[in-house]
Structure 1
């Protein structure tokens, strides 16, 4: 069918001519179905969309301006826009859920917890081999974040002595953990 013929049919549909609508549907439905199928990617959705599109064409035929637009372009624009609106209105699909499954859990798994627990026991056993004050100073400096100055004041020793305690204690801990 020629563009002029389609324009004539659309004009008659605007006047609520059902016979013209039937002819318009028969002449253009294959092309509009192809547009729907290409945009939606699903045959069943494309068939449903095509029905909605022809309802829109029936209701909006009086808005078609013969001089301004190619009739088939006008019909394709209605079909394409309707399908895009359908895509936008969809709820997020399971694809996002599948992508979320790939994100790892930040907390340690049971194996990592067991290894960490074993390492912690080894460290505390080695700390137990140090002098009580020196072990407490190591815990204060490296677990609690206490400053060397605060520790020196707490144990009433000079700052350089505290540094020596910590350095020697770390060397002993390293030897204990490696052995």
Structure 2
């Protein structure tokens, strides 16, 4: 799903639209679960945190427009902050300040932002060179976290055909990005 689509879903969630909330969860839960798992390091705790995060998103969706950030950045910040709060709340465990230097600052500096913007533009240009259904499938699988099965159903092709589409598309993207 595109950032604009996710922004639209968050706006609808702020109006208490349950269908939009379900779509937002389906589109973003895999990415946010990965954030939770990375920060917490425990699958069970990450699953619990993910549920709490979506409750926060439901309750705070109206704050997204005020933030003025990209939708994924906002969602990741909500998830990351919640997980850090959970780490702080753990009883009987103290962290040494030296370990705090291992936690990276999530915001990029201006140089990193410029590089990321250029790379995103290059990737977008290469994706535009693919056939439209294949580009959509690649975006679904690798940017939105859609499963191969879901993509195969959406594009009305057999599962192995979808796997072939994605593999060949990734090879074409690699050629384009290296060329």
Please give the TM-score of this superposition, normalised by the length of structure 2: 0.51
Matched residue, 2:26: 26
Partners of 1:79 and 1:67 in 2: how far apart?
Answer: 15
Given the superposition, is the C-alpha separation of residues 13 and 89 from structure 1 closer, same or farther in structure 2, using an over 3 Å criterion? same
Partners of 1:64 and 1:94 in 2: how far apart?
Answer: 33
- Asked if 1:75 corresponds to 2:75, the answer is yes
Q: Report 1 or 2 for greater relative contact order, CA contacts < 8 Å, sequence distance ≥ 6.
A: 2
Matched residue, 1:53: 53
Q: Equivalences for 1:1-179 in 2 at 5 Å?
A: 1-65=1-65, 68-93=68-93
Give the conservation status (yes or no) of the 8 Å contact 1:35–1:80: yes
CA deviation after TM superposition for structure 1 residue 93, in Å? 3.7
Partners of 2:90 and 2:20 in 1: how far apart?
Answer: 34
Aligned residues: 95
- Gap regions ≥5 residues in structure 1: 96-179
Partners of 1:94 and 1:39 in 2: how far apart?
Answer: 16
Which consecutive segments of 4 or more residues in structure 1 shift more than 2 A? none
Partners of 1:68 and 1:48 in 2: how far apart?
Answer: 28
Please give the TM-score of this superposition, normalised by the length of structure 1: 0.51
- Gap regions ≥5 residues in structure 2: 96-179
Partners of 2:67 and 2:74 in 1: how far apart?
Answer: 12
CA deviation after TM superposition for structure 1 residue 65, in Å? 1.5
Bigger CA radius of gyration: 1
Partners of 1:40 and 1:47 in 2: how far apart?
Answer: 10
CA deviation after TM superposition for structure 1 residue 22, in Å? 0.1
CA deviation after TM superposition for structure 1 residue 68, in Å? 1.5
RMSD of aligned C-alpha atoms? 1.8
Does the residue aligned with 2:65 lie in a helix, a strand or coil? coil
Partners of 1:94 and 1:60 in 2: how far apart?
Answer: 30
